[in-house]
């Protein structure tokens, strides 16, 4: 491995919930070494049984590599392939994981390996959280979004027919194993989508990452991202997420800043029936709005807002809402957001590049004005 | 309240998982004061919504008292009545709780109150553990078994069609509220069954409780138990369970002694298809066997074993297996127990009255011999 490689140790020693620490390891062409690493970490010391949960496309590309890697060091591997897509992140798929766990006789010392994107990671993670009241979990994220976001932090869960992520648990993985080379098979739109979350980390936590990204001519496709920048993105975002969640393992104060761009983003998704924009695209629009709100209330400067806009443009993310959207609906949808406390919308605003805070000083009027001025043609 | 009353604070400050401490409050005629107490503890400070989960018989007896108690201090109460019985502790009932949580719009600061025995406590507790990744839980146990055992310790879960308690989570309640007066409506067999677990606490943890019980002429029905003894049983067992689990919140070393009598007990239940004996009766038989094994291997004395036998007799628990049971099947069933590590059965044996340890020195031969000598006519 001549390319940069790193291991980030997520330190939970000072967290409210003293979960054990775990490693986020990032290295190109590392997928074949997963089994060896798990052995080193004594994962499955008391039971060699492993259930790999994946989806058809990912397992076709990487299933053999992962299975061979695990078997070659002595793990007894079974796999379960679940259909891809958010709409399958439900109780039915979960039951299939439980059934596979039973069929493969997973014990308390056994391990579930989640090989896939956020949907697989959330479901397999939740099954690991709840099978025999919790067994070991290894996250092998295969999408950029999972690598920088969902695989880190311990949030697991499934959807209720009437709402996303309503059912879940906090369950930290024993290891997060990131091989950037698997991103070559990631569809371009999914790459751009994830870039919205990457930009978010720059804005709320990591000014240096933000500046590095500004130096890149384009951010919209993997092939335009130089290896050093890709490595910076993966390691700095993982570190940011890990630092934020380890300071606040259960959702509380500091973790709330991770919702930057998400409050208005969720409202846009809801109003457009989750069809027009995917999650990252909606978050990009949400950041444009939140950044403009922050500038209009003097939380950060107009120049900082403009720099954020440049990154969103370089990432090829949408910068405007379609003309037929009723902006009032978006404002109305805000009040249904999960983050509402006592009727006040909790808003995350940047205070400079690399720092953010939560405020309840944002009125519906301000939101309306900013949406009109910044997200319509 | 002229009768004895107590509050036990479960101290998790030194536990591996630094869960918040919580109170186990025991007081006769305290049911109408549940709401007031919850307010004092600031349960639901951020959301007044409460979902009471119960079963038809219990809710008929105590539903109005509990609901009124909660409403009178400002809680917004909804209830969900689930059918009684272990066979309903499944994914279907769980889904009904989630649906009720959604219908009543439970938020992160809302509370689930489990009003019932172990089945209700386990299911409602698991729903509270997983709804929005964990909301507040108050246990109001209405059976002796739930009061001394299942409501304390944070184990929650449901059954998989092919195995009990395979799906679950650790989730500590904010409060356990015990009103001994509700035991008046408890069927006699359920009372005796729970007494097996009470005797267990005496043997493995609390010699003083053991001696107090020996002073009682009978232990098989509530009306033979003097108020002071009942209070000692409830408070000492709750304290024992709380001490044991707070020293070892996740199932590990010390908590394993709670399985005293359960290893052979589970095997007896399995071999008799869960029909002949209920759980407590099987545990009673398991304790007879484990006590005899301990005596034969000189872990404790023959005199101590005999005293345990007297308690089991006073509790009106069965002391023999039916003649048509194949003892070899019980020995074979032991190897399928969840507590097997590397093929060795982990056995809990008392080392004196009030102390126990785990050993793997018990051979199948010893078990066979003891079953023949102690559990057959």
Q: What is the mean pLDDT of residues A29-55?
A: 96
**SS3 for A77?**
strand
Look at residues A135, A48, A69, A63 and name the one whose alpha carbon lies nearest to residue A98.
Answer: A135
Chain A closest-CA separation from residue B288 CA (Å): 28
Instruction: Tell me the residues of B at the A interface, defined by beta carbons under 8 Å apart.
Output: 16-19, 46, 91, 95, 98, 102, 107-108, 129-134, 155, 157, 160, 162-163, 166-170, 250-251, 338, 341
A171 is catalytic: no
Residue B212 has pLDDT above 80, yes or no: yes
Burial code (b: 16+ CB inside 10 Å, e: under 16) for B252-264 equals eebbbbbbbbbbb
Q: pTM here?
A: 0.88
Instruction: Choose the closest CB to B133 out of A16, A134, A170.
Output: A170
A168 and B132 within 8 Å at the Cβ level: the answer is: yes
User: CA-to-CA distance for A372 and B282, rounded, in angstroms?
Assistant: 70
**B157: chain A residues, CB-CB within 8 Å:** 130, 133
Cβ atoms B159, B90 nearer than 8 A: yes
Residue A338 has pLDDT above 80, yes or no: no
A169 and B108 within 8 Å at the Cβ level: the answer is: no
User: CA-to-CA distance for B268 and A165, rounded, in angstroms?
Assistant: 41
Which ipTM did the prediction report? 0.85
Q: Which residues contact A315 (CB under 8 A, 6 or more apart)?
A: A192, A195, A196, A199, A219, A220, A284
Q: What is the mean pLDDT of residues B67-85?
A: 97
Chain B closest-CA separation from residue A4 CA (Å): 36
**A17: chain B residues, CB-CB within 8 Å:** 17-19
Look at residues B201, B59, B190, B73 and name the one whose alpha carbon lies nearest to residue B124.
Answer: B59
pLDDT at B153: 87
Strand partners, B358: B348
| Structure token pair of residue A244 | 């934020």
A130 and B132 within 8 Å at the Cβ level: the answer is: no
Residue B228 has pLDDT above 60, yes or no: yes
| Structure token pair of residue A269 | 């998704």
Interface test with A, best of B45, B91, B133 (most A CBs within 10 A): B133
Strand partners, A341: A344
pLDDT at A105: 95
B328 is catalytic: no
Q: What percent of chain B has pLDDT over 70?
A: 91
Q: State whether CATH 1.20.1090.10 applies to domain B188-374.
A: yes
| Structure token pair of residue A245 | 């969640």
Of the listed A200, A236, A241, A314, which one is catalytic? A241
A169 and B17 within 8 Å at the Cβ level: the answer is: no
Look at residues A302, A299, A309, A311 and name the one whose alpha carbon lies nearest to residue A349.
Answer: A299
**B19: chain A residues, CB-CB within 8 Å:** 17
Strand partners, B240: none
Cβ atoms B123, B158 nearer than 8 A: yes
Burial code (b: 16+ CB inside 10 Å, e: under 16) for A241-262 equals bbbbbbbbbebeebbbbbbbbb
User: CA-to-CA distance for A175 and A25, rounded, in angstroms?
Assistant: 8
Look at residues A36, A42, A45 and name the one whose alpha carbon lies nearest to residue A69.
Answer: A36
Q: What percent of chain A has pLDDT over 70?
A: 91
Instruction: Tell me the residues of A at the B interface, defined by beta carbons under 8 Å apart.
Output: 16-19, 46, 91, 95, 98, 102, 107-108, 129-134, 155, 157, 160, 162-163, 166-170, 250-251, 338, 341
Of the listed A49, A174, A200, A255, which one is catalytic? A255
| Structure token pair of residue B126 | 């698991």
Of the listed B37, B89, B96, B155, which one is catalytic? B155
CA angle B79, B84, B90 (to 5 degrees): 90
Cβ atoms B180, B28 nearer than 8 A: yes
| Structure token pair of residue B4 | 């004895």
Cβ atoms A3, A228 nearer than 8 A: no
User: CA-to-CA distance for B104 and B116, rounded, in angstroms?
Assistant: 20
**A250: chain B residues, CB-CB within 8 Å:** 134
User: CA-to-CA distance for A336 and B180, rounded, in angstroms?
Assistant: 43
Q: Please say whether the dihedral angle defined by the alpha carbons of residues A90, A261, A212 and A355, taken in this order, is positive or negative.
A: negative
B155 is catalytic: yes
Residue that has been written with the tokens 């009598």 in this structure: B261
In eight-state DSSP terms, residue B323 is T
Complete edge-to-edge strand list for the sheet that includes strand B175-178: B6-10, B22-26, B175-178, B136-141, B111-116, B49-54, B76-81
Residue that has been written with the tokens 């008799």 in this structure: B272
**Out of A34-38, A124-128, A234-238, B334-338, least confident range:** B334-338
User: CA-to-CA distance for A177 and A184, rounded, in angstroms?
Assistant: 16
Cβ atoms B356, B350 nearer than 8 A: yes
pLDDT tens string A213-258:
999 999 999 999 999 999 999 999 999 998 888 776 555 578 889 9
CB atoms within 10 A of CB A352: 13
Q: Which residues contact B99 (CB under 8 A, 6 or more apart)?
A: none
> Where do you find CATH 1.20.1090.10 in chain B?
188-374
Instruction: Choose the closest CB to A18 out of B16, B129, B251.
Output: B16
Of the listed B266, B305, B307, B314, which one is catalytic? B266
Q: What is the mean pLDDT of residues B149-163?
A: 92
Strand partners, B160: B163
B134 and A341 within 8 Å at the Cβ level: the answer is: no
Please state which CATH number belongs to domain B11-185.
3.40.50.1970
pLDDT at A3: 47
Instruction: Choose the closest CB to B167 out of A19, A130, A166.
Output: A130
Residue B16 has pLDDT above 70, yes or no: no
Question: Can you spell out the DSSP letters for B172-213?
Answer: --SEEEE-GGGGGGS-HHHHHHHHHHHHHHHHHT-HHHHHHH
Chain B closest-CA separation from residue A340 CA (Å): 10
Of the listed B76, B251, B313, B329, which one is catalytic? B251
A133 and B16 within 8 Å at the Cβ level: the answer is: no
**A167: chain B residues, CB-CB within 8 Å:** 98, 130-131
Give the chain A residue whose CA is nearest to the CA of B128.
Answer: A167
B170 and A133 within 8 Å at the Cβ level: the answer is: yes
> Where do you find CATH 3.40.50.1970 in chain A?
11-185
- The pLDDT-based confidence of B3 (bands split at 50, 70, 90) is very low
Chain A closest-CA separation from residue B293 CA (Å): 27
Calculate the average pLDDT of chain B.
Answer: 90
| Structure token pair of residue B48 | 């007044």
B250 is catalytic: no
Give the chain A residue whose CA is nearest to the CA of B99.
Answer: A160
User: CA-to-CA distance for B221 and B315, rounded, in angstroms?
Assistant: 8
Which of residues B319 and A250 earns the better pLDDT score? B319
B108 and A338 within 8 Å at the Cβ level: the answer is: yes
Look at residues B1, B201, B133, B344 and name the one whose alpha carbon lies nearest to residue A172.
Answer: B133
| Alpha-carbon distance values, A160 to A52, A87, B98 (Å) | 24, 10, 8
Of the listed A76, A190, A251, A313, which one is catalytic? A251
**SS3 for B298?**
coil
Strand partners, A156: A169
A133 is catalytic: yes
| Alpha-carbon distance values, A60 to A57, A116, A147, A219, A313 (Å) | 5, 11, 20, 28, 34
Question: Can you spell out the DSSP letters for A154-191?
Answer: -EEEEEETTEEEEEEEE---SEEEE-GGGGGGS-HHHH
Look at residues A319, A278, A78 and name the one whose alpha carbon lies nearest to residue A187.
Answer: A278
A341 and B102 within 8 Å at the Cβ level: the answer is: no
Largest CA distance in chain A: 62
Q: What is the mean pLDDT of residues B225-233?
A: 94
């Amino acid at each position: 491995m001549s390319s940069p490689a790193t291991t980030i140790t997520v330190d939970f020693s000072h967290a409210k919930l003293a979960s054990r620490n775990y490693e986020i390891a990032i290295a190109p062409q590392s997928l074949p070494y997963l089994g060896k690493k798990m052995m080193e970490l004594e994962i499955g010391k008391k039971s060699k049984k492993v259930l790999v949960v994946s989806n058809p496309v990912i397992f076709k590309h990487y299933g053999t590599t992962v299975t061979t890697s695990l078997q070659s060091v002595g793990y007894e591997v079974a796999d379960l392939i679940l259909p891809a897509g958010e709409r399958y992140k439900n109780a039915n798929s979960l039951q299939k994981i439980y059934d596979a766990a039973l069929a493969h006789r997973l014990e308390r010392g056994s391990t579930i390996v989640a090989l896939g994107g956020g949907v697989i990671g959330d479901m397999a993670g939740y099954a690991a959280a709840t099978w025999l009241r919790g067994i070991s979990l290894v996250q092998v994220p295969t999408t950029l979004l999972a690598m920088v976001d969902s695989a880190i932090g311990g949030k697991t869960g499934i959807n209720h027919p009437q709402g996303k992520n309503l059912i879940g648990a906090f369950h930290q993985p024993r290891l997060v194993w990131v091989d950037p080379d698997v991103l070559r098979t990631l569809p371009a739109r999914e790459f751009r989508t994830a870039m919205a979350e990457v930009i978010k980390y720059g804005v709320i936590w990591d000014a240096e990452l933000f500046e590095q990204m500004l130096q890149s001519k384009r951010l919209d496709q993997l092939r335009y991202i130089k290896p050093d920048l890709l490595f910076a993105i993966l390691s700095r975002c993982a570190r940011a997420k890990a630092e934020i969640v380890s300071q606040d393992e259960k959702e509380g104060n500091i973790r709330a800043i991770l919702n930057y761009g998400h409050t208005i983003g969720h409202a846009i998704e809801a109003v457009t029936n989750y069809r027009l924009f995917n999650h990252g695209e909606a978050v990009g629009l949400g950041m444009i709005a939140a950044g403009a709100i922050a500038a209009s209330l003097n939380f950060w400067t107009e120049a900082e807002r403009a720099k954020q806009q440049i990154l969103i443009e370089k990432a090829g993310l949408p910068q405007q809402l379609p003309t037929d959207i009723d902006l009032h609906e978006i404002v109305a949808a805000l009040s249904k957001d999960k983050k509402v406390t006592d009727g006040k919308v909790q808003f995350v605003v940047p205070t400079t590049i690399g720092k953010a805070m939560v405020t309840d000083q944002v009125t519906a009027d301000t939101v309306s004005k900013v949406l009109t001025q910044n997200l319509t043609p």
